[in-house]
Amino acid sequence: MKQVMQPFGTIKRIVPVGIDALMIYFKGEKLDEANAYCQQWVHALTREKRGFSWILECVPAYDSLMLVFDPFTIDSHGVYMALSTLATQDVSLEKQQDIKVLSVWYGAEGANDLARVAQTTGLTEDSIVQMHGETIYKVYAVGFAPGFAYMADTPPRLHCPRLSTPRKRVPKGAVAIADNQTAVYPSESPGGWHLLGLCPDLLVDSHNHASFLAVGDSVKFEPISEQEFRARNAS
């Protein structure tokens, strides 16, 4: 008889995925709360002192975590028991609360959908820039492309559906919004989000390919002039 993995603590549900992974869903009346619990577990599981050498990968999402393990070292029941033991310990999140700032040339050439967003939202272009730049966002997931961070929540008045027909080319550094999310395209790629401007900041390290933004980070956008953008982009 297959053993049912009962939830505990901040975990709402545990679902086996094949023989080498568990999908863990977290409690929370709001997405922010569930995501905070998710980040607590990511940090607790990956902390070097834990000694969980059987962990191959932790893949966090908005309100869930896929835990991939070595099936030759441990089985799903062993992972479940390790998680339940860890839950009795202190899994408080020890992470920085610093806000990472990204610069934006709003209305940049080749990345300017401000007029379209204004028509959709009824806001002026200046109001769009102000609202987008005043908000502090949280990174909920990193994916789609290396360094592409999904950040939320944009102010409700800025919510715009994705384009019905995605663009074949979105320039590197394009700052974009769609629904309640915002993001920066770390490299040139197709995309269906509304473009607000260009960011000169490096989002992926060219040497080790590490992402500048990580899940759980707080991010704010800072307007810069065209001259400053071109100067920084040339350096």
pLDDT in tens, the chain (235 residues): 455 689 888 899 999 999 999 999 998 877 878 888 888 888 888 774 567 889 999 999 889 999 999 999 999 999 999 998 888 765 454 444 578 999 999 999 999 999 999 999 999 999 999 999 999 998 888 887 888 999 998 999 999 999 999 999 999 999 999 999 999 999 999 999 999 999 999 898 877 778 899 887 889 999 999 999 999 887 6
| CATH architecture for the domain at 99-234 | Beta Barrel (2.40)
Burial class (CB in 10 A: 0-12, 13-18, 19+), 134: exposed
pLDDT of amino acid 50 = 61
Q: What are the beta bridge partners of residue 197?
A: 106, 175
Contact present, 160 and 178 (Cβ < 8 Å):
yes
pLDDT of amino acid 216 = 79
- Pairing, β 99-106 against β 218-223: parallel
**Residue whose pair of structure tokens reads 């999908």 in the numeric block:** 23
pLDDT of amino acid 36 = 81
pLDDT of amino acid 1 = 43
Q: What is the pTM of this model?
A: 0.64
CA–chain centroid gap for 92, Å, is 20
Separation of alpha carbons 17 and 217, rounded Å: 28
Angle at 141 between CA 218 and CA 48, to 5 degrees: 80
pLDDT of amino acid 32 = 78
pLDDT of amino acid 90 = 53
Q: Given this chain, do its domains 11-87 and 99-234 carry the same CATH topology?
A: no
Contact present, 128 and 114 (Cβ < 8 Å):
yes
Instruction: Tell me which of 3.40.50.700, 3.30.1360.40, 3.30.70.20, 1.10.8.420 is the CATH number of domain 11-87.
Output: 3.30.1360.40
**Residue whose pair of structure tokens reads 């770390």 in the numeric block:** 186
Separation of alpha carbons 27 and 54, rounded Å: 25
H-type alpha helices, 20-112: 31-46, 76-87
Domain boundaries, the chain: 11-87, 99-234
Separation of alpha carbons 108 and 227, rounded Å: 11
Omega before residue 153 within 30° of 0, cis: yes
